[in-house]
Structure 1
Amino acid sequence: MSRQAGRAQRVVEALAASGHYLWRGWGSLASLCLFLAAWEETAQAFGPLILPTPMAAFATLGGLLDDGGAWPEIAVTARRALAGFALSLGVGSLLGLAAGVSMTASMMARPIITVLAGMPPIAWLILALLWFGAGDGTPVFTVFIACFPIVFVGAMQGTRTLDGQLREVAQMFGLSPWLKLTDVYLPHVVSYLFPAWIAALGMSWKIVVMAELLSTEDGIGAALAVSRSHLDTAASMAWIVALVGTLLAIEYLLLEPLKRRVESWREFASSSN
């Protein structure tokens, strides 16, 4: 009976989690519909030269996708943005974890991170143009240096806020270093890292388009520059929709499943306590 009760409880918990996830999905869909409705009303008020309707933007994007000209530009922008984001995620997480372990390292890193976070991305872009020229190095470096402080601070705060009692309990039960890392330290730190990663992901897309607009001849940023010079507002909005759609796909197909795994671990830990 106890085994059957445990199975029934797990089924109920799984159904509740699925219902919660679907409810969140419906909420996101409702907010998207409200945004599209506001976009439609604004476009009707100001006219297509100022702001095309959502249907006009989607139709233009559909034409670009059918012609095959949009896919290479989207792929180039995604590659540059993800390359800079991955570099900032790896380097920022490792250095942030190391700084969080030592109070001295945290104090020494604070003014440097303040300078990096406060410096405008356009200034880094100008320097990158001088250092790397008009190529992939400029947008990738600009994305990396703009996202690095966000990831670094998230990793450092996650390490600094680790409950000392958890360490004592892990030490008392004689957990191996690997179990301490995977079952005690890592889930707590990742709960701080995920918001930083998502913020850095959004920042990477904005920065890479700005860098491409000023430094490259391909990518969504360069396509936006061409549509602006032609006063083609519909094409500009189509490229913006492609950019936002790619960003949402990466967030909800890549980061969101990982986030749910971490949250499920935290719920399991809290229920077991």
Structure 2
Amino acid sequence: MSATDTVALPGVARQPEGGGAWRAWAPRLRAALPGAVFCLLVAGLWEVLARTKQSPLVPDLAEVWGEILRLLAGGMALEQVGITLWRISLGGIAGFAIAVLLGLFAARSRLFGAFIRPAVLLGLTVPGLVWALLCVIWFGVGLATPVVSIILGIAPPLLVTISQGLRAVDSELTEMAHVFRFSRAARIRHVLLPSIVPFLLSGVRLAFSLAWKVIVLVELFGLSDGVGYQLNSEFSSQNVAGVLAWTLIFWVVMAAIEFGLMQGMENRLTRWRRESSL
């Protein structure tokens, strides 16, 4: 018997060779199929609408695709998207850190939670447009304008999400950690963090979506570069295809972050939940 021969065990079907790659990718393809069908359906409906209207206000897919290629070929799209993502990252990280810190205090102290509740309610009700305009007035053209605007826009809803996650920690786990005399660091690592990871990931997703809406307004009103500025420029020239092209480019970038980074991080950090359910 050669080294490459295999022994067929009774009752076990021999797996076809070369199928390992397909078995690895099949679940991902099945998971992506509904989203792909949705995108194709929306694109088809848009094309039908464009051909029916025959209006420059409703460009067809070929025109939008031509604008995307133009922006990508010149390198301007990657440059402007990078500028916007840098601002979102700075404001998002700062806003997330502030929300986590305040959420910890609010979850541990009812008095502090009641103290900051009016500020949280104000932040939840004030539109991002107001923060954008105020920060442009206060800080002018500079990095502080988008960063502070994003912090003001995302910190209140993030604080609510994080404080709810902290209150949802299983009390039995906390009592068990106390019985086994876990140190404070061990309690944070083995009890607190695993319990609130889903809330933290949900908060990160929420922060990115809200930060995108805020930064577009800031770049539109007070800055001279970034995706928001380019959208305003295309709008001023009545180039609807350009507006859609910039929107789709940034949407693809955000989708890549979600499916390439966020979901991988979520699968890794919450793997213990799936393993414990086996």
Per the normalisation by structure 1, the TM-score is 0.86
Deviation at 1:16, TM superposition (A): 9.6
SS of equivalent residue, structure 1 residue 139:
helix
Indicate the structure (1 or 2) with the bigger Cα radius of gyration.
Answer: 2
- How far residue 166 of structure 1 moved from its aligned partner, in angstroms, is 0.8
1:260 aligns with 2:267: yes
Question: What is the number of equivalent residue pairs in this alignment?
Answer: 257
Matched, 1:25 2:32: yes
Cα gap change, 1:171/1:24 in structure 2, threshold over 3 Å: closer, same or farther? same
- Residues in 2 aligned to 1:135 and 1:177: alpha-carbon distance in whole angstroms: 41
| Aligned: 1:269 with 2:276 | yes
Question: Any conservation in 2 of the 1:48–1:233 contact (CA below 8 Å)?
Answer: no
Q: Distance in 2 between matches of 1:68 and 1:48?
A: 29
Task: Provide closer, same or farther for how the CA distance between residues 131 and 96 of structure 1 changes in structure 2, counting only shifts above 3 A.
Answer: same
d(CA) in 2 for partners of 1:64 and 1:234? 12
Letter in structure 1 aligned against 2:135: A
| Comparing 85-94 and 42-51, the one that deviates more | 42-51
Taking a change above 3 Å as real, the CA distance of residues 70 and 21 of structure 1, as seen in their structure-2 partners, is closer
Q: Deviation at 1:109?
A: 2.1
Other-structure match for 1:150: 157
168, 190, 207: which is aligned to 2:175? 168
My pick for the range that moved more, 149-158 or 175-184, is: 175-184
CA contact (8 A) 2:136 2:221 kept: no
Distance 1:117 1:267, change over 3 A: same
Q: Paired residue for 1:238, among 235, 241, 245? A: 245
Counting aligned pairs with the same residue, the percent is 27
The letter for the 2-side match of 1:209 is V
Task: String of CA shifts for 1:195-250, please: whole Å, max 9, x gaps.
Answer: 22212211111211111111111111111111112111111111111121121122
1:261 Cα deviation after fit: 1.9
SS in 2 for 1:231: coil
The reply on whether 1:133 has 2:126 as its aligned counterpart is no
Change (3 A) 1:182 1:17: farther
Aligned to 2:128: 121
Say if 1:22 and 1:173 are closer, same or farther in 2 by CA, change over 3 A. farther
1:19 offset after TM fit, Å? Answer: 5.6
Q: Does 1:43 align with 2:69?
A: no
2:198 alignment partner in structure 1: 191
Unaligned runs of 5+ in 2: 1-21
* 1:137-196 CA distance string (max 9 Å, x none): 222221121011121111100111111111111222333333321221111112112222
Candidates 37, 60, 63, aligned match of 1:53: 60
Segments of 5+ residues of structure 1 without an aligned counterpart are 1-14
Structural RMSD (CA):
2.1
Moved more, 50-59 or 226-235: 50-59
Residue 106 of structure 1, aligned match among 109, 113, 137: 113
Give the whole-Å Cα distance in 2 for the aligned partners of 1:257 and 1:126. 36
Does structure 2 conserve the Cα–Cα contact (< 8 Å) formed by 1:187 and 1:266?
no
Tell me the equivalent position of 1:83: 90
SS state at 1:115 partner: helix
Change (3 A) 1:75 1:153: same
Q: Normalising to structure 2: TM-score of the pair? A: 0.85
Q: Deviations over 1:118-139 (max 9, x none)?
A: 1121211121012110222222
Seen in structure 2, the aligned counterparts of structure 1 residues 19 and 261 have a Cα distance that, compared at 3 Å, is farther
* Shift in alpha-carbon separation, 1:99–1:21, aligned structure 2, 3 A: farther
